[in-house]
Amino acid sequence: MRGAEAVLACLQEQGVDTLFGYPGGMILPLYDALYAQDEIRQILVTHEQNAAHAADGYARATGRVGVCIATSGPGATNLVTGLATAYMDSIPMVAITGQVDIAMLGRDAFQETDILDVTMPVTKHNYKIKNAADLVPTIREAFALARNGRQGPVLIDVPRNLFFEEVAYTREEPQVRTPGKPDADFIICAAEAAAEIVNAERPLVIVGGGVISAGTSAEVTAFIEKYHLPVVHTLMGMGAVASTHPQMLGFAGMHGEKAANYAIGAADLVIALGSRFADRQTGNLSKYTANRKFIHIDIDPAEIDKNIENSLGLAGDMRTILKLLMRQAPKCDLAQWWAQIRTWQEEHDYDYHVGRLTVPWALHQVAQSTTGKAYAYATDVGQHQMWAALHLRVEEPRTWLTSGGLGTMGYGLPAAMGAQLAWGESRRVIHIAGDGGIKMTGNEFYTIARLGLPVLSILVNNRSLGMIRQLQKVLYDEHYIACELDHEMDYVKYVESFGIKAACVSTQEEFAAALKSALEDRSHPRVIVMDVWRSFVEPMAKGGARIDEFVDFK
């Protein structure tokens, strides 16, 4: 078959049913092959960056490899931010880019760009195919790389002429790698870790995005329940253990809940599952690590001792490691530790009786209206993202989509679109964004409207780049520059121009009514624009301080 047909055959072989992209001359042969088949649906986006974010959202929602395609030159370079977002958060993706014909390589042909060198730092691996016979094995290898071990994005650059050449194709079932048996030294190390856990007086578990990638939420929940361990989640780990679980203390980190951060500060043993101890999670590293031990469990050996030195590290398959850790019976009585934690929780419980419309109050209403029902949440990046992590309740893995490592403004809407396409009618996505990020990728409302996707967007219009303004207050003596968006924009008219129903609200009563109406309309996209006062996300850990020392905004 022709190379383009072989590419699609390989995608079907790998279980791909949806891809996101934007056409151009060098990728057009692949679109022509898509025209002649019905097995894979192609989603035309409005910008290549959004194709990458949508594939990312699709991957996070399903656990399968997301796929995006683009043409050479600007098409390929527009994927970079989306690839970097997936790379930082270890999301499995395959991007296929068209390239100028092999005969034109190195001649500065129209839209020729060396996308391999451009994307090398933000992909798990990338390929430039120069022989049509390499198409099929390379695609298979790319998918295996993307989905196995520490997951991540892989890019394949294909010169246009190879799409036309004849290649041999025989269907093969994707190979699933199974973890090997742990050796004796590993078992001994796991036994040491288990002994530390059962003997600790103030143990604490941190769950990160690796728990979700590994598909081990049930095993982690069983682990914390057996040893009655308190647990907190990182930004990426939301949903790894249900937010409503009685042992879940909530979000921890720079903007984490006070009880969660106080528990980290007082713990004598921290057990990190699938978390890389990023700077927004730890604050000052020397203060974070003082007077406590660490057990670090991760799929990637490179993460062990990278940020937290001298931890007891276990690198490998999380399911296997948890089985080894659960061989011992609980010993320590944690009643006093739990009493202290419950005291912190009672002292710092959030008061939602504010009497006016605020983002925390609104997201609390969303949580109350959706808990226990088939919803998922996608956020952009900024203040609203932190409020969402603090005030929403995520009960299942893969129902929380956010850009953690790269912090990509504009991520939320295309990611919500990709997730909604993945779930169809089985689950509805609620998308939360600020007035800054929505200006970056709000054009994807066009695609959402064109496809009739029932995404519910909640836009926080505080007329500012809120997190920039907050940092300028805390770190730059309130020198508010390049952060205030005072020029009036009618977001309702903007959204309605795409054919989407929208409402602007400025009171609690208006928000409650608009939310009820939007949740009842499950078959069409809806938007609620919140007209709110500028405010600051609390809590906020002090820069350069312990994670349990907070900024006073009064």
**Cα distances (angstroms) measured from residue 243 to each of 147, 375, 400, 431, 479:** 27, 14, 11, 19, 37
Q: Are 103 and 129 in contact (CB under 8 A)?
A: no
- Looking at the domain assignment, is residue 549 inside a domain? no
- Looking at the domain assignment, is residue 323 inside a domain? yes
What does the pLDDT look like over 336-354, one tens digit per residue? 999 999 999 999 999 999 9
What does the pLDDT look like over 365-411, one tens digit per residue? 999 999 999 999 999 999 999 999 999 999 999 999 999 999 999 99
21 with 89, same domain: the answer is: yes
Taking residues 238-245, what's their average pLDDT?
A: 97
- Looking at the domain assignment, is residue 223 inside a domain? yes
Can you give the pLDDT at residue 412? 98
306 with 428, same domain: the answer is: no
Is the link from the previous residue into 121 a cis peptide, with omega within 30 of 0?
A: no
| Residue 146 confidence (pLDDT) above 90 | yes
Residue 35 identity (one-letter amino acid): Y
What does the pLDDT look like over 446-480, one tens digit per residue? 999 999 999 999 999 999 999 999 999 999 999 99
Strands across the sheet with 375-379, in order? Answer: 400-401, 375-379, 428-434, 456-461, 526-531, 501-505
Can you give the pLDDT at residue 449? 98
User: 464: which DSSP letter?
Assistant: B
Phi/psi at 426 (5° precision) = -75, -20
525 with 422, same domain: the answer is: yes
344 with 364, same domain: the answer is: no
pLDDT band at 326 (very low <50, low <70, confident <90, very high): very high
For the chain, helix, strand, coil in percent to 5 are 40, 15, 40
Can you give the pLDDT at residue 505? 98
- Looking at the domain assignment, is residue 207 inside a domain? yes
Domain count, the chain: 3
412 with 493, same domain: the answer is: yes
336 with 385, same domain: the answer is: no
334 with 376, same domain: the answer is: no
Can you give the pLDDT at residue 554? 75
Separation between Cα atoms, residue 454 and residue 376, nearest integer Å: 12
What does the pLDDT look like over 30-84, one tens digit per residue? 999 999 999 999 999 999 999 999 999 999 999 999 999 999 999 999 999 999 9
Q: Are 529 and 504 in contact (CB under 8 A)?
A: yes
297 with 240, same domain: the answer is: yes
Strands (E), 464-554: 501-505, 526-531
Q: No. of H helices and E strands in the chain? A: 23, 18
- Looking at the domain assignment, is residue 554 inside a domain? no
- Looking at the domain assignment, is residue 318 inside a domain? yes
257 with 334, same domain: the answer is: yes
Can you give the pLDDT at residue 43? 98
Single residue among 130, 164, 198 that ends a domain in this structure: 164
19 with 146, same domain: the answer is: yes
- Looking at the domain assignment, is residue 458 inside a domain? yes
Can you give the pLDDT at residue 270? 97
Can you give the pLDDT at residue 76? 98
Q: Taking all residues of the chain, what is their mean pLDDT, rounded to a whole number?
A: 96
Portion of the chain with pLDDT greater than 90, in percent:
94
Can you give the pLDDT at residue 57? 98
| Residue 95 confidence (pLDDT) above 80 | yes
Handedness of CA 325, 329, 331, 332 (dihedral sign): positive
- Looking at the domain assignment, is residue 377 inside a domain? yes
Can you give the pLDDT at residue 401? 98
125 with 16, same domain: the answer is: yes
Question: What DSSP assignment string belongs to 271-320?
Answer: EEES----HHHHSSHHHHHTT-EEEEEES-GGGTTTSSTT-EEEES-HHH
Can you give the pLDDT at residue 339? 98
Q: Are 497 and 517 in contact (CB under 8 A)?
A: no
Q: Which domain holds residue 340?
A: 184-348
**Cα distances (angstroms) measured from residue 354 to each of 297, 351, 504:** 41, 7, 20
Separation between Cα atoms, residue 96 and residue 110, nearest integer Å: 19
Output the six-digit token pair for 165: 């050449």
H or E stretch including 345? helix 335-347
Query: Any idea what the CATH number is for the domain that residue 426 is in?
Result: 3.40.50.970
Residue 382 Rama label (left phi>0; alpha psi -120 to 50; beta)? left
Query: Any idea what the CATH number is for the domain that residue 194 is in?
Result: 3.40.50.1220
Question: What DSSP assignment string belongs to 195-244?
Answer: HHHHH-SSEEEEE-HHHHHHT-HHHHHHHHHHHT--EEE-STTTTSS-TT
| Residue 488 confidence (pLDDT) above 90 | yes
Can you give the pLDDT at residue 175? 79
What does the pLDDT look like over 505-553, one tens digit per residue? 999 999 999 999 999 999 999 999 999 999 999 999 998 889 999 999 8
